Amino acid sequence: METPQTLASGSAPLCLVTGADGFIGSHLVELLVARGYRVRALAQYNSFNHWGWLEGLPCLPEVEVLTGDIRDPHFCRHMVKGVDVVFHLAALIAIPYSYIAPDSYVDTNVRGTLNVCQAALEAGVRRVVHTSTSEVYGTARYVPIDEAHPLQPQSPYSASKIGADAIAQSFYSSFGLPLTVARPFNTYGPRQSARAVIPTIISQIAAGKRRIELGDLTPTRDFNYVEDTCRGFLALAECEAAVGEVVNIGSNSEISIGDTVRLIRELMGSDIEVAHDEQRLRPPQSEVFRLWCDNRKIERLTGFRPQVCLREGLQRTIDWFTNPDNLRRYKVDRYNV
């Protein structure tokens, strides 16, 4: 993909970010604008005309915002008109909700991805970066987990993402759509939903709770600060050798949820106790107990390496959540499914 400095026409490429109103998508919009790209941001249509986390971004005046829904193929044809690069992040992502609303996940994640790929193909889009997830690997059979690791659908969410990845890859193999599957491991940072464990811990402590409620503390995760995940997306979009490839984005390290709690407690100067909340536990066969990313492929293809260590990233996240204007957006007394 041509960069803003090398595009022959003299104008910067137009990048579409689906799911731009969400956690990672909003950070990606900020990065693309800072790097000089033109950005079209898709926020899910709603009658309030609310643009999610795009609201209040300093760069918003430089962004073209569309509202719509990737489940509609006609809308998808409209949203890709004139686009050079698609970063496809729009998805239903909450694992607990997928247990009670699996059909919604198939509609959004599988059919939505089909609609995006079909529209991109018809429009002659030059690059598509499709967002996968480390959840498709399930509990690690070996570590670190490379891209050849078996896929294990341990939740309806992960099954829908396996299906979405397969749809995306089929458009490369069958029709030559220039597409890369980016597979980030556990991203965290400012603006993340409280359904994720790090915001759950931080927001409960920041709200003054002496006893916080969590699920299983034994699983391990490969945590990555959101800015690093977004840099990984952009590195893959700018790498011709990544076309047709599935590529992990991660730190090549792991930490247990329990040790993550202890680290956050130390950084926040807290002496909270942890209570186990049964409703936060996944069904036994559905829990992914170990994730540890092998990130050698992305480094080999693009030279990309994460820049923000876990301690620094957690401190940045704590600083954001402890701002009262940010914390009041979260319902810390409710379990966020």
Q: What is the pLDDT of residue 9?
A: 47
pLDDT in tens, 172-222: 999 999 999 999 999 999 999 988 999 999 999 999 999 988 988 999 999
Q: Checking DSSP bridges between strand 179-184 and strand 246-249, what pairing results, if any?
A: parallel
Q: What is the DSSP letter of 329?
A: T
* Per-residue model confidence as pLDDT tens digits over 142-179: 999 999 999 999 999 999 999 999 999 999 999 999 99
Q: How far apart are CA 160 and CA 292, in angstroms?
A: 21
Q: Report H helices in the chain.
A: 23-34, 73-79, 95-100, 102-105, 112-123, 156-175, 197-206, 226-237, 257-267, 296-302, 310-321, 324-327
CA-atom Rg of the chain in angstroms? 19
Cα separation, 155 vs 136, whole angstroms: 9
pLDDT digits (tens, 9 = 90+) for 22-72: 999 999 999 999 999 999 999 999 999 999 999 999 999 999 999 999 999
Domains of the chain: 14-187+224-249 (3.40.50.720), 197-221+253-292+308-327 (3.90.25.10)
Task: Report CA torsion sign: 291, 305, 191, 181.
Answer: negative
Residue 7 pLDDT: 40
Rounded Cα–Cα distance for residues 48 and 64 (Å): 18
- Identity of the amino acid at 5: Q
The enclosing H or E element of 41 equals: strand 38-44
337 neighbors 195 (Cβ within 8 angstroms):
yes
Task: Give the full edge-to-edge strand order of the sheet including 246-249.
Answer: 63-68, 38-44, 14-18, 85-88, 127-131, 179-184, 246-249
pLDDT for res 2: 45
Query: Would the pLDDT of 281 be above 90?
Result: no
Q: Are 95 and 135 in contact (CB under 8 A)?
A: yes
Instruction: Give the separation between CA 323 and CA 328, rounded to whole angstroms.
Output: 9
Token pair of 154 as six digits: 């341990």
Task: Please list the helix, strand and coil fractions of the chain in percent, rounded to the nearest 5, in that order.
Answer: 40, 15, 40
Which tokens hold the place of 71? 């489940």
**Pairing mode of beta strands 186-188, 38-44:** unpaired
Please answer whether residues 328 and 207 qualify as being in contact, where contact means their C-beta atoms are separated by less than 8 angstroms.
no
pLDDT digits (tens, 9 = 90+) for 297-310: 999 999 999 999 99
Contacts of residue 334, defined as CB under 8 A and 6 or more positions apart, other chains included, come to none
Q: 303 CB contacts (<8 Å, ≥6 apart)?
A: 235
Q: Which residues pair with 249 in a beta bridge?
A: 184
User: What pTM did the predictor assign?
Assistant: 0.95
- For 104-156, what is each residue's pLDDT tens digit? 999 999 999 999 999 999 999 999 999 999 999 999 999 999 999 999 999 99
Amino acid, res. 179: L
- Spatial contact of 115 and 167, defined as CB atoms under 8 Å apart: no
Pick from 209, 204, 238, 194: nearest CA to 31: 238
